[in-house]
Amino acid sequence: MRASVAAAALDAGADIVNDVSGGLADPGMLPLVASTGATYVTMHWRGHGDSMQQRAVYDDVVAEVRGELLARVEAAEAAGVGADRIVIDPGLGFAKTAEHNWQLMARMREFTELGYRVLVGASRKTFLGRLGGAEAPVPPARRDAATAATSLLCAQAGVWAVRVHDVPSTLAALQVHEAVSAWGEVSGGAS
C-alpha cells in the first residue's frame, strides 16, 4: 500500500502491484503504477487494521463492495492505469464479518461479471476456522480443506486467481473442477 515499497519491488523485477488499500493509503501509488506496465490489484479497503473492523457496516455488502471497488477502478483508470492491467479483490476479512465474507463468496459472480480479472484471498482466514459453529476457530494450518473448497467455488464463479498458503490442496480441487468441466463440455452439458 506504499508507493515506495511498490517502486522497490518493481525495480527488483516484480510485475504485479497488490495494493490492499486500493490506492487510498498513498496518493503516489496510482501515478506510480500508471507509469509502469505493471498489473494493478486493487482491493476493497475501508481503513487500516486498527480500525477496519469498526467499519464493517453494510446494508448490502455485495452492492457496497462492488460500488467502492468500481470507484477505485475509476480512480486507477483516471490516473492512467489501463483497464486490461486492473485486477479487483473484494477484500475478504478486511472490514468484513464472517457473514459478510460468506455473502461475498455466494455472490462472487457479481464481481466476475464486471469485466475485470478478480483475485480472492480466502486462504486460512478466520471465517473458515469457524465453520460448523466452532466456538474457538480451528488453527490456521487446519483450514486448508476449507480454503480448497473456497478456491473451487471461486473457479466456478470465474475468478481469475486465488491466493493460498497450501498450493497442492487447491491445485487438486481445481483439477477436479477442470475434469468435471471438460466432461460437461464433451457431453454437451453445461460446464
Same domain, 19 and 109: yes
Same domain, 107 and 144: no
Determine the pLDDT at residue 111: 98
Determine the pLDDT at residue 77: 98
Asked if 17 and 38 touch (Cβ cutoff 8 Å), the reply is yes
- Beta-bridge mates of residue 89: 43
Inter-axis angle of helices 98-106 and 61-78, nearest 10? 70
Same domain, 188 and 134: yes
Q: Please give the chain's pLDDT, 191 residues, in tens.
A: 999 999 999 999 999 999 999 999 999 999 999 999 999 999 999 987 777 777 888 999 999 999 999 999 999 999 999 999 999 999 999 999 999 999 999 999 999 999 999 999 999 999 999 998 878 889 999 999 999 999 999 999 999 999 999 999 999 999 999 998 888 754 444 44
Same domain, 146 and 76: no
Same domain, 154 and 60: no
Provide the domain limits for residue 44.
1-120
Residue 61 CB contacts under 8 Å (≥ 6 apart), including other chains: 96, 100, 103, 104
* Phi/psi-derived region of residue 118, left when phi > 0, alpha when psi is between -120 and 50, beta in every other case: beta
Determine the pLDDT at residue 49: 72
Same domain, 179 and 91: no
Determine the pLDDT at residue 133: 84
Same domain, 5 and 33: yes
φ/ψ of residue 117, rounded to 5: -65, 145
- Concerning whether 96 is annotated as a catalytic residue, the answer is no
Same domain, 31 and 102: yes
**Domains: count for the chain:** 2
Look over the chain and give the mean of its residue pLDDT values, rounded to a whole number.
92
Please say which residue of 120, 145, 169 terminates a domain.
Answer: 120
Determine the pLDDT at residue 184: 75
CA–CA gap between residue 124 and residue 110 (Å, rounded): 23
Same domain, 23 and 70: yes
Q: Which of 2, 125, 130, 142 is catalytic?
A: 125
Please say which residue of 120, 142, 164 terminates a domain.
Answer: 120
Same domain, 7 and 83: yes
CA–CA gap between residue 127 and residue 191 (Å, rounded): 29
Please say which residue of 58, 86, 120 terminates a domain.
Answer: 120
pLDDT tens for residues 28-73? Answer: 999 999 999 999 999 999 987 777 777 888 999 999 999 999 999 9
Determine the pLDDT at residue 191: 45
Same domain, 161 and 104: no
Q: For the chain, give the number of residues.
A: 191
CA–CA gap between residue 101 and residue 91 (Å, rounded): 9
Determine the pLDDT at residue 53: 77
CATH code for position 110? 3.20.20.20
99: how many CB neighbours lie within 10 A of its CB? 12
Residue 138 CB contacts under 8 Å (≥ 6 apart), including other chains: 129
Same domain, 112 and 131: no
Inter-axis angle of helices 144-156 and 98-106, nearest 10? 40
